[in-house]
A = this chain, B = another copy of it.
Amino acid sequence: MKLGDSAENFENEATLQLDSNGELRHLLTLKGLDKATLTQLLDEAEQYLTSPGSVPARSRSLEGRTVGNLFFEPSTRTRASFDLAGKRLGADVLNLDVNTSSRKKGESILDTIYTLEAMQVDFMVVRDAGAGVPAYIARHVSDHVSVLNAGEADISHPTQGLLDLLTIRLHKVDFGELIVAIVGDIQHSRVAMSALHGLQTLGVAEVRLISPPALAPDPEKVPGARIMDSLDDGLRDADVVMALRIQRERIGNLDGIPGIDEYFANFGLSHKRMKIAKADAIVMHPGPMNRGIEIEGALADGPSSVITEQVTNGVAVRMAVLDRVAKTMGTR
């Protein structure tokens, strides 16, 4: 898709998402978001956590507001998470299955956005396979509209990054001491990118990006991170280990990795392998998991796994983000 924006425009997503007072108005990326804002979002999200089995936290803070979920890529968990976050704040939620209607008719993204804007949709939650789409939309919406990036190509997935940070913070005290190992298809992972940006801002000791050489990131895109191709080396002394989802079809194209068994043997997380990491290391995965490929089922279900907590924290983080941008809009 041609967005009519030059590459350099993508540089200022970080400032584009702030209003003139420096308050968060859109959420496009964690890259460049300052530590105070990040910390405040995590603090606010934490207040939405309740004990398992109790009624989830609710408020009426978005009563009368409308959340539009525009998923140009299929999604269950992120869409459902934003849906519930919106409803639990009292908002009306409009779920648009964009593949099957306007796009069929050849409507442009912007016309869809202008239409929703005219219907007084206040929050546009956008997932798209095209790089730059959330920022492109944010540049064109009216003053009363917030754009929330719910997954952008292989570029970023900021609410996922926030929920990862919150999950880590609930288990680890001192970010300055943390070694975080991210394992898998780093090159195509928006999850890895957003986690990296957030972790660096919060000042962790080290982020390791571990993958087969063919799936390693461009070093220029991940300054400060350590690129590694040995899982055993990468896990040594790690406090946090995050497995990424790999597309099965990519596996056969990796040097020395003809099949799933080889991938698991080389880059799969398992109980046995986790012994290399710190004894109290936590195991994360953004889901949906390929059990037996990037992660052993028993590890995913074991005591070191915080994978379902991530999901819970995802709703809380999205409530906090909706609330925050609503407050920014309310004070304009």
Residues in chain A within 8 A of chain B (CB atoms): 50, 52-56, 58, 64-66, 74-77, 80-81, 83-84, 87-88, 92, 94, 96, 98, 100-102, 104-108, 111-112, 114-120, 142-144, 245, 248, 287-291, 308-312, 314-315
Q: Given the interface contacts A119-B81, A289-B111, does A106 sit within 8 Å of B74 by beta carbon?
A: no
Question: 17 A-B contacts, Cβ less than 8 Å apart?
Answer: A52-B142, A53-B142, A53-B144, A58-B64, A66-B84, A74-B100, A76-B101, A77-B102, A80-B119, A87-B92, A105-B245, A105-B288, A111-B291, A114-B311, A118-B312, A119-B312, A120-B312
Which B residues are CB-close (under 8 A) to A108?
291
- Report the bound CA distance from A308 to B145 in whole Å: 15
Which B residues are CB-close (under 8 A) to A55?
64-65, 120
Q: Are A104 and B311 in contact, CB atoms less than 8 angstroms apart?
A: no
- Report the bound CA distance from A45 to B327 in whole Å: 29
Question: Could you tell me the distance in whole angstroms from the C-beta of A74 to the nearest C-beta in chain B?
Answer: 5
Q: Given the interface contacts A64-B56, A144-B53, does A315 sit within 8 Å of B120 by beta carbon?
A: yes
Q: Are B76 and A83 in contact, CB atoms less than 8 angstroms apart?
A: no
Question: Could you tell me the distance in whole angstroms from the C-beta of A250 to the nearest C-beta in chain B?
Answer: 14
Which B residues are CB-close (under 8 A) to A102?
76-77, 288
- Report the bound CA distance from A92 to B94 in whole Å: 13
Known: A76-B115, A77-B115, A118-B308. 7 other contacts (CB 8 A): A53-B144, A55-B65, A66-B84, A80-B119, A105-B288, A106-B290, A111-B291
Which B residues are CB-close (under 8 A) to A114?
308, 311
- Report the bound CA distance from A290 to B106 in whole Å: 7
